[in-house]
């Protein structure tokens, strides 16, 4: 019975709908999320796919902030905007470095590092982790982008962990924060398994 694989059964459930473009991931994820919400589970449907049409399928606007879905009780959705997430992510990292009194030369190096191609993906994944780890959801349904993008996104734990490991200007406080971030990240990855 498929229900045993998608219902939370006392634990938060994270469901991924993945595959190549055009195979019906968005429709399948929307139908599953609606069904779970109707069963009484607080359900968040999210996507990082810039081409996703969650709003069209659900007949309700889906933006880059968590939004209740029409008259559907127990259901919310969000479309993570990778570019907006990236800007927020960069600003947070740089503000933290400035608050810690890093020299401007270190800030410049960090800015250059944050302009790497994977920063946008890391920021989107960071946003996904933020939503997936919130206690208010019993089920998080993830309508993924096409396979290549999703595989890259799921490789980020290694990239992200390595980025933390190689920070040149870390202090004891930053090291402690990084250890906490790694632990939190590991917990989210374990939850997704």
Reported confidence tier of residue 185, pLDDT bands at 50, 70, 90: low
Whole-Å CA distances, 87 to 115, 116, 141: 10, 13, 25
Query: In residues, how long is the chain?
Result: 193
Reported confidence tier of residue 16, pLDDT bands at 50, 70, 90: confident
Report the share of the chain in percent with pLDDT over 90.
25
Residue with token string 């709908």: 17
The per-type count for the chain, helices as H runs and strands as E runs, is: 8, 5
pLDDT for res 71: 85
pLDDT for res 172: 43
pLDDT for res 93: 87
pLDDT for res 46: 93
CA torsion, points 140, 141, 145, 147, in degrees to nearest 10?
A: 100
Residue 109 has pLDDT above 90, yes or no: no
Question: CA-to-CA distance for 86 and 115, rounded, in angstroms?
Answer: 10
Reported confidence tier of residue 126, pLDDT bands at 50, 70, 90: confident
149's tokens: 């993008």
Lowest mean pLDDT among 110-114, 121-125, 162-166, 175-179: 162-166
Burial class (CB in 10 A: 0-12, 13-18, 19+), 11: exposed
Name the CA radius of gyration of the chain, rounded: 18
Q: Which one is predicted more confidently, 62 or 156?
A: 62
Q: Which one is predicted more confidently, 45 or 178?
A: 45
Whether the model pTM is above 0.75:
no
Residues paired with 45 in a beta bridge: 77, 141
**Do 78 and 63 form a contact (C-beta atoms < 8 A)?**
yes
pLDDT for res 32: 95
Domains and CATH numbers, the chain: 3-192 (3.40.50.300)
3-state secondary structure of 151: helix
pLDDT for res 112: 86
Residues paired with 140 in a beta bridge: 14, 44
Whole-Å CA distances, 28 to 16, 71, 140, 172, 182: 10, 20, 14, 46, 32
The string of pLDDT tens digits covering residues 28-62 is: 999 999 999 999 999 999 988 777 788 889 989 89
Question: CA-to-CA distance for 26 and 143, rounded, in angstroms?
Answer: 6
39's tokens: 């069963």
pLDDT for res 20: 81
């Amino acid at each position: 019975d498929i229900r045993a694989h998608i219902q939370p059964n006392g634990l938060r459930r994270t469901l991924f709908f993945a595959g190549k473009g055009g195979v019906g991931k968005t429709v399948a994820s929307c139908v599953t999320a609606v069904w779970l919400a109707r069963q009484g589970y607080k359900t968040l449907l999210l996507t990082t796919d810039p081409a996703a049409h969650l709003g069209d399928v659900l007949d309700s606007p889906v933006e880059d902030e968590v939004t209740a879905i029409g008259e559907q009780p127990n259901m919310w959705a969000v479309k993570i905007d990778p570019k907006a997430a990236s800007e927020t992510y960069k600003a947070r990292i740089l503000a933290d470095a400035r608050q810690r009194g890093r020299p401007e030369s270190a800030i410049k190096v960090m800015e250059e590092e944050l302009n790497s191609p994977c920063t946008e993906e890391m920021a989107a994944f960071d946003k996904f982790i933020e939503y997936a780890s919130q206690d208010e959801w019993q089920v998080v349904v993830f309508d993924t982008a096409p396979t290549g993008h999703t595989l890259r996104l799921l490789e980020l734990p290694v990239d992200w962990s390595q980025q933390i490991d190689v920070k040149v200007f870390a202090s004891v406080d930053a090291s402690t924060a990084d250890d906490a971030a790694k632990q939190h990240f590991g917990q989210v990855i374990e939850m997704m398994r």
